[in-house]
Structure 1
């Protein structure tokens, strides 16, 4: 069976998929690794462990009976750089994008360049702006910086392990990195002035491949941009995609309005598609919030951590708790709730207040009539019913593309490995309608 192998690397789960010519997942394996710490004691990805897993996974591919792997591609989380020295070896920890950013250095940058959020379509997010990670290395660890030949975004590091070619891709550079000037369509002048471009490798198109041994190999993609590809392939009518995981990111490829300062201040940004087109997006840290709060609920109500998966949407509880008084669930006392189910509905209603505001930032004034929800919350009936209630004039769908980021990475290089036409049934959809009696 001819297929493509995709390494899909999330913060928590690392997965290897084989996908056949009809875009069916025919084999998969997953791992999760313990984190390590950097020189400051902050938690970070264990890059040595990750590298070993990638190499072992690729070795495993050659030994699988019944599959002929024609191509490889990669999707990974963003805002993460791997620093290579002049011998091509990893020279530093894979610093966590949540690592606190030194205020004095942030001020130094601000004094030198002012606010670049509008030009770079990047809210000021400290370490989440990957460009500022490289800036920090230059000023706080100059001897280490001098040893670095290339700063690779994580998808391109995984590709580098296969091809030996240090490259950059537009989806990684164009995602809240503060590196890219969206007007000039080039690295921003501050990047050039600081000499950071000397450490940044050449771009490689996301829809092209390199021939390496028996494989056609892609350069990899940022996972949020990759997850959008099956939808852009399947639908021409305007839609937004809420990609849910650690972050809930509303992606609107049909919003042509430039980012405003007010939107930037509310965590809006622009991504770039694998074809280099801007996608206006708004983000909330809702998956992370959900993860923390269900642990708190489990402890308080003495239930398994995943007990929320058994909670169905209950219109009576919704009516009881409605309307929402604006608050973060973390600030609420669990003594106020008679049961886990009521507390969980309150948690999700608090999250939905944030979600509604975030999604409206990029949908208002656009022709969008459909919302697709991909990822974990798409399988959460409480979230989906609340979203339908929040957007009664929209068609709200739980839209599952099984492993959308992996499928997107396979679709990006379709022409180089797959002689079949693009399938018309990539997206499974389930419509949620707001119950008018509530």
Structure 2
């Protein structure tokens, strides 16, 4: 059975998949590692353990009977860089993107290039400190000049995994284009600050994400992609399946609305509402808006469970009830106090509500989702308004939540709303990116499973 091997490396779970030519996952395994600490005592990924796992996993895969692995590709979380010496060994910890950023450093940099707001606008990146990978490298240059001098290549994490297989240090546009503050989206090149501050000489040549390199593993000859940023990889099955304009709301801890059909420049208002741009592996901008809604949901269902004395996951038994929705909708909007701002870490209205208002868990849960949907509607509209999009696809956890899906259909009555799923979309996307280099079959027509949610059905 001809297969491609995909390493899909998340912050928590590291997975390896074998995918056949019909894009069926024929084998899956995974692991997770405890975090270690960097030199400041902050938690970080164990890069040595990760490196060892990659090498050992591929060796094991190639010895499996019944499978013929012909290619490799990789997807990993973003905003993380691996620093290599001239000889190719790792020089520093894999710093965590949540590591506190030195106070005033990003503002000082911004001041030298027209102000932080202008820098954010030109690089399509909200100012997020360590979540901007370019600022991680800048911090090393400013605070650890001896380490900076030793760095030959600063590789984004997907390209480090590829480097372990191909020996080629390269950069990929999906990693460069994910809120790194490195890329000038108008000029389609590294931003002038990257060159002037001497960072560009540490960055490897850019290589297309839809091309492959030769790879030798265990004496065998293969081809390998150079890896992709996971959010960009997860979009590929949808771009491969649909040509009509759509947005994808990818739901989990973060709910990210991705619009591949919006290439307008980011406005200051969008930047302050945590909009950003990604780049696809074909170098097309994707405007995106992020919301911390999954995290808000997680916090509030704990509160509900405690108050109503139910299991924490009781919400999974709640189905959408049009009568409850109508009852809650009847509350006069004038009685609602405005939510100040709609920042990405902003709690929903529900955090301030007293649970004594609600006579049952089911009613309270509908109110929670209506409050989250108020924010979701605001966030998604930032990247939908003014574009030709007529369809919304939702994948991830909320796609299986009938309350969320019906409320989304009500929030966007002029859109076709679908719960959509691709089994392991990130891994499948990484395989699709290099389809023509390993797969002898045409693209399958049934990559995405869909269920339609109608706006009218919720008023029955």
Q: TM tier, shorter chain?
A: over 0.9
Structure 2 partner of 1:169: 172
2: CA distance between counterparts of 1:217 and 1:235? 26
What is the aligned partner in structure 1 of residue 394 from structure 2? Answer: 373
Alpha-carbon distance change, 99 to 65 in structure 1, aligned in 2, over 3 angstroms: same
Shift of 1:298: 4.0
Q: 2:137 aligns with which of 131, 134, 137?
A: 134
* Deviation of 1:321 (Å): 3.2
Matched, 1:412 2:433: yes
Per the alignment, residue 437 of structure 1 pairs with 459
Partner of 1:356: 377
Equivalences for residues 25-40 of structure 1 within 5 A? 25-40=25-40
Whole-Å separation in 1 of the counterparts to 2:148 and 2:358: 53
Q: Which residue matches 2:146?
A: 143
Q: Deviation digits for residues 138-195 of structure 1, max 9, x if unmatched? A: 1122222222221111111111121222111000001111100011111000000010
Q: Against the structure 1 CA distance between its residues 299 and 154, is the aligned structure 2 distance closer, same or farther, given a 3 Å change threshold?
A: farther
Q: What are the equivalent positions in structure 2 for 1:186-265 lying under 5 Å apart?
A: 186-213=189-216, 214-265=221-272
The Cα shift of 1:283 comes to 1.1
Following superposition of structure 1 onto structure 2, how do residues 286-297 of structure 1 map, counting pairs within 5 Å? 286-297=293-304
Displacement of 1:363 in angstroms is 0.8
Which residue of structure 1 lines up, in the alignment, with residue 43 of structure 2? Answer: 43
Structure 1's 392 and 104: CA in aligned 2 closer, same or farther, altered over 3 A?
Answer: same
Question: For the Cα contact (< 8 Å) 2:406–2:458, is it kept in 1?
Answer: no
TM-score (norm 1): 0.94
Report the CA distance shift for 1:71/1:431 in structure 2 as closer, same or farther (over 3 A). Answer: same
Give the aligned partner of residue 64 of structure 2.
Answer: 64
Task: Tell me the CA shift for residue 106 of structure 1.
Answer: 2.2
Match of 1:403 among 424, 433, 446: 424
**1:421 equivalent in alignment to 2:424:** no
Distance 1:421-1:361 versus aligned 2 partners, 3 A rule: same
How far off is 1:42 after superposition?
Answer: 2.5
Deviation at 1:436, TM superposition (A): 4.8
Q: Secondary structure at the match of 1:34?
A: coil
- How far the C-alpha of 1:328 sits from its partner, in A, is 4.0
- Matched residues in 1 for 2:38 and 2:358: separation? 41
Determine the structure 2 residue equivalent to 1:283.
290
CA distance in 1, matches of 2:11, 2:32: 9
Distance 1:147 1:330 in 2: 49
Q: Please list every run of 5 or more consecutive structure 2 residues that lacks an aligned counterpart in the other structure.
A: 340-347
Q: Give 1:414 shift.
A: 0.4
Given the superposition, is the C-alpha separation of residues 192 and 232 from structure 1 closer, same or farther in structure 2, using an over 3 Å criterion? same
CA distance in 1, matches of 2:70, 2:397: 30
Evaluate the alpha carbon distance shift between residue 292 and residue 42 of structure 1 in structure 2; reply closer, same or farther with a 3 A threshold.
farther
Deviation by residue 1:239-298 (Cα, 9 ceiling, x = unmatched): 111112232111111123222222122111111111001111111122233333334444
Change (3 A) 1:75 1:366: same
1:154 equivalent to 2:157? Answer: yes
- Which residue is equivalent to 2:112? 112
Instruction: Find the counterpart in structure 1 of residue 343 from structure 2.
Output: none
Q: Which has the larger radius of gyration?
A: 2
1:303–1:29: structure 2 CA closer, same or farther, 3 Å change rule?
farther
Out of 285-294 and 143-152, give the one that drifted further.
Answer: 285-294
Equivalent-residue separation in structure 1 for 2:411 and 2:323 (angstroms): 17
1:100 equivalent in alignment to 2:122:
no
The alpha carbon displacement at 1:201 in A equals: 0.7
1:274 to 262, 269, 281: 281
- Aligned CA RMSD, in angstroms, stands at 1.9
C-alpha distance 59-101 of structure 1, shift in aligned 2 (>3 A): same
Q: Comparing 158-167 with 170-179, which one deviates more in the overlay?
A: 158-167
Q: What TM-score, normalized to structure 2? A: 0.90
Show the counterpart of 1:385. Answer: 406
User: 1-side partners of 2:53 and 2:311: how far apart?
Assistant: 30
**1:384 offset after TM fit, Å?**
1.2
> Aligned pair count?
438
